[in-house]
Amino acid sequence: MKLSHKLMVVSAAALIGVSPVLSASQTAVVQAAHKSTAKKTSSTKKNASKKGTIKLSHNSYVYDKDGKRLKTYMGSEKNTTIGKGYTLKYASKVTIGGIEFYDIGGGAFVKAANVGYVDGKKVTKANATTATASAKIKHNAYIYDAKGKTDKKKIKKGQTVTFDQAIYIGKKLYYRISGQTNQFIKAANVGKLAGATLKPVNESITPSDNQNDPTVITLNHNAYIYDDQGNASKTLLKKGQQIQVDKLQYIDGKLYYRISDSKYPGENQWVKKSNVGVITGKQLKPANEKPTDDQDATFATIARDTNVYDEKGIAQPTKTFAKGHVARVNELRYIWVQSESKAVLFYKLQSDKNGFIKEDDVNIISGHKLTPVNTPEIAKNQAITATDADKKSLQDALGEAAAVKASDAYKLSAKALRDSYDAAIDTGIQVNTAISTVAQVNDTLSKITTAKNALNGKKIPVNDLNNLTITEADQIVQLAATANGVDKSAIQFSKNNTILTITGANGFQQTLNITDYATANK
């Protein structure tokens, strides 16, 4: 084979290996090599052939009409990424959620930011850049991310900053720093804008407790959309999204809200109430009866706008409930609140493993009645650091450990009981030397006392140590086996029950003292 022929075969194979798969509905404009005569074609004719096309300058994901990445495209997950350098036909340029896309047909879109050429013309920096506006910072301003969280980095007062987007995060308006995808500044800290008019890309839903207003829920967890049979779809709603709903209903024993929001078109769409945090507007009541298997549940109606608290009684500012909200609760307990120096009664939320609401913030309890699982004193002890006086009883128990271990009660108990006592003593030593709470000290002392009281070893009473009956000898063998943690067959009497031996796993035989396991009746 000639060298030129070999090179042609290798080149063809290489091209096949790197060519990405495109949608059948999307025609690639093949950049074939032209013969020398084709070079004479006018540039006007070239540009005309590229009308209605875009060429990718970066690898690009394929999105749907809502700006969400497609999981499969043309029947395959591999087709959801189109490689850099490909030329595609497009129908129009659209804006989805404040981001520009090109419609490539078949319900598929690619981001404009990944496009290098449009209609055969290179996208210049000038026409590729989103409209911007500049302003001076009025106050020292923290930089926030898209969730409204900050790592305390700030921009100082007087600096001029360029922005390319206005957006509501929660109830507050922010401006996005130009060229950054996840850096925002509160509009309240920004002076008058100069340049393009930045209109918010979303809407602020102002919370309302007016029973005539639409019901709006705010998700406190990512949440799938379900149908009215409780079947989950593949659509995932993000934590923090605000959604209008019009119905509350039990589905398979769980409460769901029905979505009635123009931003989420479609019928028979439901979201679990357990994924909902703040509820504003009309407070909906279940449209159907609570299932009978839920009859032991407890529900608390919130008396006023309130925070959710953690297990230490500290308010969580990002978790709130509006007045009238009904929450399922499963426990009533006292929590020692350090800032108030007292034990406060809280309900434990069913939907949040570390979430509590104050009993004082509840005005109606329906369903199963709950009683406190602890007392104010126990709650205090669980939070207060133990003093030397608090540890006195524990120290006394540790001090008698040597005497306990020398007793028949310990030595002749089963190995498991001895191990339990040893472990309790080891824990007690750690708690005694560490900075511990009163509850930890009391709990450790209780475990030592329980383990000590469980020690039940005692010698076998016999009439004559030198003339054991068959029953007495058998009882001694059983006790020796229990105390040494071996099978009964490893313990044997010989020479008319006057010699007691134990045989180890290695076959080594050792003589035991009969008086360690038996005592003569007086």
Q: Which tens digit of pLDDT belongs to each residue from 72-126?
A: 877 777 778 888 888 888 888 887 866 888 899 888 999 988 898 988 888 875 4
**Both structure tokens of 460:** 């076998």
For the cut 70, the answer to whether the pLDDT of residue 27 exceeds it is: no
Under 8 Å CB-to-CB from 505, ≥6 apart: which residues? none
- Residue 389 per-residue DSSP state: T
For the cut 80, the answer to whether the pLDDT of residue 33 exceeds it is: no
> What is the phi/psi pair of residue 431, to 5°?
-65, -40
Q: Which tens digit of pLDDT belongs to each residue from 216-236?
A: 898 988 999 999 888 888 889
Return left, alpha or beta for 488; rule: phi > 0 is left, psi -120 to 50 is alpha, else beta: alpha
Tell me what the pLDDT averaged over the chain comes to: 83
Look up the pTM and report it.
Answer: 0.37
User: Is pLDDT larger for residue 347 or for residue 281?
Assistant: 347
Residue 5: predicted pLDDT? 39
Pick from 36-50, 239-253, 425-439, 501-515: least confident: 36-50
**pLDDT over 70 percentage in the chain:** 85
For the cut 70, the answer to whether the pLDDT of residue 292 exceeds it is: no
For the cut 50, the answer to whether the pLDDT of residue 444 exceeds it is: yes
Residue 446: predicted pLDDT? 93
For the cut 60, the answer to whether the pLDDT of residue 37 exceeds it is: no
For the cut 80, the answer to whether the pLDDT of residue 23 exceeds it is: no
Pick from 13-22, 66-75, 203-212: least confident: 13-22
For the cut 60, the answer to whether the pLDDT of residue 135 exceeds it is: yes
Residue 370: predicted pLDDT? 92
- pLDDT grade, residue 291 (50/70/90)? low
Give dist(CA 141, CA 127) in Å, integer: 30
- pLDDT grade, residue 128 (50/70/90)? very low
The secondary structure of the chain in percent helix, strand, coil, rounded to multiples of 5, reads: 25, 35, 40
> What is the phi/psi pair of residue 365, to 5°?
-120, 125
Pick from 119-133, 146-160, 245-259, 431-445: least confident: 119-133
- pLDDT grade, residue 343 (50/70/90)? very high
- pLDDT grade, residue 354 (50/70/90)? confident
**Both structure tokens of 147:** 């969730």
Distance between start and end Cα atoms, the chain: 112
User: Is pLDDT larger for residue 28 or for residue 330?
Assistant: 330
Residue 373: predicted pLDDT? 92
For the cut 80, the answer to whether the pLDDT of residue 247 exceeds it is: yes
Amino acid identity of residue 239, one-letter, is: K
Q: Which tens digit of pLDDT belongs to each residue from 359-394?
A: 999 999 888 889 999 999 989 888 888 999 999 999
Residue linked to tokens 């035991």: 512
Residue 457: predicted pLDDT? 93
Q: Spell out the alpha helix ranges (H) of 121-256.
A: 125-128
Distance of CA 325 to the CA centre of its chain: 24
**pLDDT over 90 percentage in the chain:** 38
For the cut 80, the answer to whether the pLDDT of residue 468 exceeds it is: yes
3-state secondary structure of 395: helix
For the cut 60, the answer to whether the pLDDT of residue 337 exceeds it is: yes
Neighbours of 66 (CB within 10 A): 12
For the cut 70, the answer to whether the pLDDT of residue 26 exceeds it is: no
Residue 294: predicted pLDDT? 53
- pLDDT grade, residue 492 (50/70/90)? very high
Residue 179: predicted pLDDT? 78
Strand pairing report for 194-195 and 133-136: antiparallel
Q: Which tens digit of pLDDT belongs to each residue from 173-229?
A: 899 998 788 889 999 999 989 888 888 877 665 545 556 678 889 898 899 999 988
